[in-house]
Structure 1
């Protein structure tokens, strides 16, 4: 999706873990968890719109309102004619009526620019047989270019391990200013831990909205720090995708793994309420099924994105478990490249005999001087990866040629 960088269900626990969610189904406890008294607050859009996608001629448009609402998206191929209208996914015949809005536009034309506007109608009072509406608010008309998933060349940029330093997002993206990317990828540990909604908005969503996310989608997978904190079980509702998945874009089959926590499940800090070993084991079963699919086998390139690398990240329980579970599958499946974070030390690890048969690119850490932006471009002949530190200096690169 060549756009210039300048310019289903919420909290679903599918397959035993967090998986790709974000639809705005109202739950009473969600309003309680939001700081402040929403009933006394002005009805407004707290943040958004921001875009996410799994490609395949569809895109998800997300935003957050200060109060419960009935919401929709108006869209079309002309800014003056937003003739189509889309609502959030109905569950058991009930349309969403909450604060977290995720509306998926499907059946879009590849390579076509679309214009859209978000609209929310305040729900003042919700009685069993009478619903009272308040004011209706809308955002500005925005646009995005729907990606042609069959195109010959694709590109994205990766950030990782930001650790609650939101200014790093714009600072790193400025290193790539003027280039055209299909998406922005956050490879985990954007946060130190999850405290509340305000943290998610202020430290990720709003910086993305301000810089690119109204027009360019981002893809996001959790790191081990996103599994921590009292709000960790709520955070998936603010995104369309946060867990493991796979998609094809151009010549590349992308596989995203959610590597979970690096500590053992029995660690005292978790007080017996996590089960990441089982979650990773279930992912390994899913990964074996994925690498047997024709979409994976027939791809020109196969790239895995995962926060904890499958090697070279120490002897803590989580990294060792990832290596044991995932590395043999990826070796047999002839993965071409793995991109990770977690270690806070940028490094390019070439294939190693008897270990990883693919290169592993590891991004840097959160502090100035260690931060990195990793740029990825692929065509039908080769993958080019270039990693920049926050001064703009290239500190790592790798070229993968078609087998």
Structure 2
């Protein structure tokens, strides 16, 4: 091959490379993505809305977006006129601007149906003196009934110990299909442990939103398994409330206790970074104040909801600690009923004058055949409890009469 031909081939090769390079620049969608190169993702709502409440003429509306956003709720008493607007709680004068959204609607009228939709405006760039927004997205219009806290009758259902079995949620709730409940109560161990956000969405939030949570609120207290895993410290951010609290609804004063872990704080799996003993002791002090409140004393019935029961759950440290701390206080406060889980063996334990002076009803789970749905209805004269297994057969019942 002569020298002129070599030069010509070299010019052709370089020219072709430039043309290919130009095409790559003109059509970037054909370019091969490089490691760590950002990939465009459409702004969207990952899950929600879902409702939580402690009643008192307020309700919290929660949802998750895939990117940081400025978010709010538009609501009103007519589906055609959402004339009110509410934002998440400001912290030190700063409105929320994140992916996890919780907007609490307050001063609602008792017994009124409200219509609402959630809205989020994408934050594309957040500089010290310039914030750049993207598009605004919204849900469809949903509705909920703001429960009248002074109503004569209250009803709810309890699920517990699902242990990362999301199909159990619709299956068990189907056993109560056709009934209107004031709330759904999750009594702990919905998960095996806390791994990441997607687990929370897939194994709880999605089935709840699909089945009821856009219209009916849920109340949730964590179990010992929700204290485990690397994501346990982020877990509470996805809910309005998962710890101890108290509220009055109809004739019932509800008291919710967070019983923490059943292992010793010194157990090697916790590597010295938990303090559940002092956490439970603080709740015992809180409970002592609660049983002296007029709202507690004057209620027709006093119902305690706690994952680890105050008795009948073995000799693990957490279970024994719950008995030592809470049982004397609940006896002194004349508690009428305790609803629990944890043991995976459904059982109705009768009152015992020398121990628990109140019935303790423990739901089952999580395997097929041992799962339960506990149905509770209360008026000023009585509380009716019916526990059914996952075939719909009643496996336990109790009737509390006003003393």
TM, length-normalised to structure 2: 0.90
2:365 alignment partner in structure 1: 365
**Does residue 115 of the first structure (1) align with residue 91 of the second (2)?**
no
Hey, what's the Cα distance between the residues in 1 that align with 2:197 and 2:37? 13
**Aligned partner of residue 327 in structure 2, secondary structure:** helix
2:129 alignment partner in structure 1: 129
**Aligned partner of residue 176 in structure 1, secondary structure:** coil
Hey, what's the Cα distance between the residues in 1 that align with 2:76 and 2:306? 35
Q: What does the per-residue CA deviation read over 1:130-160, in whole Å, with 9 as the maximum and x for residues that have no partner?
A: 0000000000000000000000000000000
Hey, what's the Cα distance between the residues in 2 that align with 1:55 and 1:134? 35
Hey, what's the Cα distance between the residues in 2 that align with 1:38 and 1:367? 42
What is the Cα deviation at residue 41 of structure 1?
A: 2.5
User: How has the CA–CA distance of structure 1 residues 108 and 323 changed in structure 2, closer, same or farther, with 3 Å as cutoff?
Assistant: same
Hey, what's the Cα distance between the residues in 1 that align with 2:359 and 2:394? 18
Conserved 8 A contact 1:38-1:66: no
**Aligned partner of residue 277 in structure 2, secondary structure:** helix
Conserved 8 A contact 1:160-1:189: yes
User: How has the CA–CA distance of structure 1 residues 103 and 39 changed in structure 2, closer, same or farther, with 3 Å as cutoff?
Assistant: farther
What is the Cα deviation at residue 40 of structure 1?
A: 3.6
**Does residue 327 of the first structure (1) align with residue 327 of the second (2)?**
yes
Hey, what's the Cα distance between the residues in 1 that align with 2:368 and 2:102? 34
**Does residue 196 of the first structure (1) align with residue 196 of the second (2)?**
yes
**Aligned partner of residue 253 in structure 2, secondary structure:** strand
Q: What does the per-residue CA deviation read over 1:168-206, in whole Å, with 9 as the maximum and x for residues that have no partner?
A: 000000000000100000000000000000000000001
Hey, what's the Cα distance between the residues in 2 that align with 1:257 and 1:38? 44
Unaligned regions of 5+ residues in structure 1, if any? 1-35
1:206 alignment partner in structure 2: 206
Hey, what's the Cα distance between the residues in 1 that align with 2:313 and 2:49? 36
1:4 alignment partner in structure 2: none
Hey, what's the Cα distance between the residues in 2 that align with 1:249 and 1:118? 27
Conserved 8 A contact 1:39-1:67: no
2:186 alignment partner in structure 1: 186
Hey, what's the Cα distance between the residues in 2 that align with 1:250 and 1:350? 25
TM, length-normalised to structure 1: 0.90
Hey, what's the Cα distance between the residues in 1 that align with 2:62 and 2:224? 24
User: How has the CA–CA distance of structure 1 residues 38 and 312 changed in structure 2, closer, same or farther, with 3 Å as cutoff?
Assistant: farther
**Which of the pair has more CA radius of gyration?**
2
What is the Cα deviation at residue 365 of structure 1?
A: 1.2
Q: What does the per-residue CA deviation read over 1:82-130, in whole Å, with 9 as the maximum and x for residues that have no partner?
A: 0000000111110000000000000000000000000000000000000
Conserved 8 A contact 1:194-1:232: yes
What is the Cα deviation at residue 37 of structure 1?
A: 9.8
User: How has the CA–CA distance of structure 1 residues 37 and 156 changed in structure 2, closer, same or farther, with 3 Å as cutoff?
Assistant: farther
Conserved 8 A contact 1:351-1:360: yes
Unaligned regions of 5+ residues in structure 2, if any? 1-35
Hey, what's the Cα distance between the residues in 2 that align with 1:254 and 1:309? 16
What is the Cα deviation at residue 166 of structure 1?
A: 0.2
Hey, what's the Cα distance between the residues in 2 that align with 1:169 and 1:38? 37
2:280 alignment partner in structure 1: 280
1:225 alignment partner in structure 2: 225
Q: What does the per-residue CA deviation read over 1:322-360, in whole Å, with 9 as the maximum and x for residues that have no partner?
A: 000000000010000000000000000010120000000
1:177 alignment partner in structure 2: 177
Hey, what's the Cα distance between the residues in 2 that align with 1:222 and 1:397? 25
1:92 alignment partner in structure 2: 92
2:55 alignment partner in structure 1: 55
What is the Cα deviation at residue 39 of structure 1?
A: 7.0
Pairwise CA RMSD of aligned residues? 1.0
2:271 alignment partner in structure 1: 271
Hey, what's the Cα distance between the residues in 2 that align with 1:48 and 1:160? 22
Hey, what's the Cα distance between the residues in 2 that align with 1:104 and 1:38? 34
User: How has the CA–CA distance of structure 1 residues 132 and 382 changed in structure 2, closer, same or farther, with 3 Å as cutoff?
Assistant: same
**Does residue 144 of the first structure (1) align with residue 144 of the second (2)?**
yes
1:300 alignment partner in structure 2: 300
What is the Cα deviation at residue 53 of structure 1?
A: 0.2
1:21 alignment partner in structure 2: none
Task: Within 5 Å, give how 1:30-49 maps onto structure 2.
Answer: 40-49=40-49
2:155 alignment partner in structure 1: 155
